[in-house]
Chains A and B, each alone.
Chain A
Amino acid sequence: MFVGFLARPTQRAKRCATSTTLLLCALLGWLLPPAAALAEVTVEMQADRTEIPLDGQVVVQIRVTSDSLRGAKIQLPDFDGFEIMRQSVQRPMQFSFGLGGQQRVQSTTHYTFVLRPTRAGRIVIPPVLVDAGQRRLESQALAIMVGRAGQASPLGKPPDVDQPDPAEPDSTESEGAEHGDRHAEPTGGEQDGDAIDARELDPDAFIRTVVDKRRPHEREQVTVTIYLYVRERLHEAPVVETEPTTDGFWTQDLQQSNTLEQRPAEQVGRARFRVYVMRRFAAFPLRAGELTIGPMSLTIRRPATVFQIFGRGNGPRPPLKRQGQTVTLEVQPLPEDGRPGGEVAVGRYAIGAKLDRDQVATGDAATLTATIRGYGHIQSVRLATPKIEGLQILAPETRDLVESPDDHVGGTRVYEWLVVPKAPGTYRLPAFVVNTFDPVHRRYVQVKSDPLTLTAAGLALATETPSAAQEDGSPSQPDPHERSPKGKDTELSWGPIRHQSELSRGGDPARLRGLLPWGLSVPPLAWLLLVGAGALVRAQRSRQLGHAELATRDAKRHMRLAADAARQGDGTTYHASLSSALTRLLEARLGEQVGSDTRPALRRRVLARGMDGQLADGVIRLLERCDEARFSPSSASADDLQNRHAEARSVFERLGTFEPTPKEPRT
């Protein structure tokens, strides 16, 4: 019975064993930490400042945290544009104990670099790359603005704006949120008086929209940050279904990396949420009145849990769909008090102008460059093309460099004009003036460049009519017929023109190129065709004719060559051809190879095959004579050779009629 139980388990025992195995697997899967792919790895890179002078220093700190025992491969960025003054690395280990007494290890690697820039301008430090098994993470990139030595900042001092830190929400507001109580707080409240914080609490996930100003002035920057709060760890980036609408705004993205930016977890009510930054952008309202920023909606996919293995609902759990709040801004018009006439740029700007040279020849061009830099909607700042009597100023070319250090949008706008004096003299280019409104100090400021002077020398242009600069500000392409300065070129002694011409329309190389492939391919093809045809004919002939016939023809051909050589007195060629002719004819008549026979052996062979002795002696004598002439050439006249050839021809003809007896088989 016991043996039988072991040998053939019952169905109940089978089910029991299967269930136990599954249960153990499930428990192991639940208790064991997730695989390396799910290990918690964070990487962060930050600098102590984003604007430094050329002779300054910046401290960059990189922190990589991993709860994997295996650690992660860290690829540090190439600090191109910087000189590393000092660097240090720290690897403190943190131990903690997880559920079931399982030990967890959290390792942190902390790099510190002290960098000094080697050039001015905007230098971007690429992100740190971390390879943690199946996951690859990267930090955000850093952009450092480097000004000239001794200069505080290439853009000047940033505006003194008190930016509320949206990553640290007001705890008092969060206290009302109860875990598991959906819609516990219907709408978000306001913070810091003028800021907007809109959210709809949810126990699993919710979207929070933070705007730093509720009542901005028109064209003043507001910073919009949209956060995602989730209870669970995100296994993949949420799918954004609809982006927030920004009708009536000019926007500039402030996120410097495409990766999902994670902020420190926050306690909302009794629950702890993970916080991700979904969007962060600067918005410039383009008109006064109420303007809205539409809600963002997204979908969070969730993988299956271990409990679903035993349940009926195998597969991933239903995704979470969430939508943010609509935010309305009350955009204020610029104050009328003290407002200057004309266009007003909002922001803090400085303007400079320069000429690439202050002395030019009349009709030659100088380049006038005006540079506006500062904070604000830089692309909305416009400069009018100056109009100066005696100067032709072409439509400008503009270049923009938009940057957002410390989330303050600004940059540089460069205008470039070509200025052509039409007559000699000294021209004064007035200062460029831009009326601005400083939203921080709420006052109007007029910024202006220094006036410039341009001196033109030489003769006035006689017939040139200036082309008006395009008023729409679009850069025009210079017309060579109008812009080419005359004068010096016309004064050169160009040769006289030609009175007569064939007015030929031919000789076009393009047409001849069409002929070239034919001209190159036809001759080789004809040659190949000829060679191939010859080979074919020979093969055909050899199939039709027997060996004896071919040998006879070959013998006759050599006989003709011998006759030609005899006429020309060429003894060497004659004897060689005659020897070949006789040998080939003998082979044709006898039907066997004789080339390797000695002369006595050949004589015996032909006698054995029925040749009369006189003919055999004649053949052997001729062959011996040819051998002698070949190995000891002597001078023979053409007449001598022709006499010899008459004798040889007689022997050749007799040999041609010789009918040999059948060859005796070898015993």
Chain B
Amino acid sequence: MNRTPPTGLVYVFTVLTAFLFSPAGTSSQGGSLDSMFERANKAFFQGELERAAAGYDELVAAGVRDADVFYNQGIAHARLGHLGLSILAFERADALRPGDDDVAKALSQARQAIGRRLADKHGEATVRTRPPLRKALVRPFSEVTLTWLLILLNTTTFGALIVRRFTHADTTRVFLGAAAAVTAALTLAAALALAVKTDLGQPGEAALVVAPETRLHEGPDAHAQLRGRVGEGSLARLLEHEGEWSRIRVLGGAEGWVPRHQVATLNPD
């Protein structure tokens, strides 16, 4: 008598095996990240701020894009006095999780601290602590949220139009037409918000000056003519790289070259 195993059992066995031996099924990476996070937190509590900041930096370098990690990283750097780096971390956390009160408060505090530092040095200082109005309007939404919203509204608009073609009842047709018009308007609004959020049309990439008193040179050379100085934590657009130098444009339109390590993009990737 020839017995064959049931097909369903074979299928379940195959799926389980694939899951257990697949990279996603292993937990070594997750465990490693957890331990790195714990080590960094422990160092922070023990007052070893340099080690804590280095631990959070490692997590980011390992590909972690988590608002909590960025927040901790910002706090560690702020307490070390690295206000530019702390603002960078807080901006990243805010981009991932807008509306987080702790992040917003810490970001504002870091910018005020830079303002005080500059005022102590130069007698007076002006630091932008609030975003422009258009940015403030879209601030409650993350880029991910706006992207999904745009896709959803767009799909709804055309879905309503498609269903309307198969509907004979006039009342339903009128309702679907109105719904398509409303969702089309919302789609446009979402697209506009996303454009503002991502600085569509702006050259280069959003970046932040992380070093104090960064010098803007006319060319990618330390001996090049000095064009001015940029304050720590200033928002800028990163236009290009050449060797160890980056060309940036700061608010107000001034452009120049700065050492590459003195500026970082808001997008960690």
Pick from A501, A530, A531: contact of B68, CB under 8 Å: A501
Q: How many residues of B contact A (CB 8 A)?
A: 70
| Residues of chain A within 8 A of B64, CB atoms compared | 503-505
Chain A residues within an 8 Å CB radius of B226: 397, 399
A99 interface contact, C-beta 8 A: no
Measured between beta carbons, the chain B residues less than 8 angstroms from A516 are 147, 150-151
Question: Which residues does chain A contribute within 8 Å of B193, judged by CB atoms?
Answer: none
What is the 8 Å Cβ interface bit string for chain A, positions 360-384, against chain B (1 contact, 0 not)? 1100110000000000000000000
Q: Name which of B1-9, B156-164, B235-243, B248-256 contacts chain A.
A: B156-164
Q: Are A495 and B102 in contact (CB under 8 A)?
A: yes
Q: Are A509 and B144 in contact (CB under 8 A)?
A: yes
Interface residues of A in 447-488 (CB under 8 A from B): 474-481, 483-488
Q: Across the interface, do B165 and A534 meet the contact criterion of CB distance under 8 Å?
A: yes
Residue of A with least CB distance to B267: A510
Instruction: Write out the residue numbers on chain B whose beta carbons fall within 8 Å of the beta carbon of A486.
Output: 80-81
Is A389 in the interface zone, CB < 8 Å from B?
Answer: no
Complex Cα distance, B198 from A474, in Å, reads: 39
A523 touches B222 (CB 8 A): no
Q: How far, in Å, is B42 (CB) from chain A's closest CB?
A: 11
Q: Which residues of A contact B113 (CB under 8 A)?
A: 488-489, 492
Q: In the complex, are the beta carbons of B223 and A484 less than 8 A apart?
A: no
Residues of B within 8 A of A492 (CB): 78, 109, 113
Of the listed residues A490, A498, A526, the one surrounded by the most CB atoms of chain B closer than 10 A to its CB is A498
B66 & A365 in contact (Cβ 8 Å cutoff): no
Answer yes or no: B79 CB below 8 A from chain A CBs.
yes
A519 and B222 contact, CB distance less than 8 A: no
Residue A497 CB within 8 A of the other chain? yes
Number of A-B pairs, beta carbon distance below 8 Å = 163
A310 within 8 A of B: no
Q: Which residue of B lies closest to A522 (CB)?
A: B155
Whether B143 pairs with A487 at a CB distance below 8 angstroms is no
Assembled-state Cα–Cα distance A520/B151 (Å): 6
**Is A97 at the interface (CB under 8 A from chain B)?**
no
Interface contact B150-A509, CB-CB below 8 Å: no
Please, which residues of chain A bring their CB within 8 A of the CB of B78? 489, 492, 494
A474 touches B212 (CB 8 A): no
On whether the beta carbons of A485 and B41 are closer than 8 Å, the reply is no
Contact partners of A476 in chain B: CB under 8 A: 222
Partner of A477, one of B168, B198, B259, B267: B259
Q: Does A512 contact B (CB under 8 A)?
A: yes
Assembly CA distance A507 to B261 (angstroms): 26
Which residues of A does B touch, CB under 8 Å?
360-361, 364-365, 397-399, 418, 474-481, 483-490, 492, 494-510, 512-513, 515-516, 519-520, 522-524, 526-527, 530-531, 534, 561, 564, 573
Pull 30 A–B residue pairs with CB atoms less than 8 Å apart, ordered by A: A365-B121, A397-B226, A474-B223, A477-B222, A477-B261, A477-B262, A478-B212, A480-B210, A480-B212, A481-B80, A481-B82, A483-B212, A488-B113, A488-B116, A489-B83, A492-B78, A492-B113, A494-B106, A497-B75, A503-B34, A504-B66, A505-B63, A507-B96, A509-B143, A510-B269, A519-B151, A519-B155, A520-B150, A520-B151, A527-B158
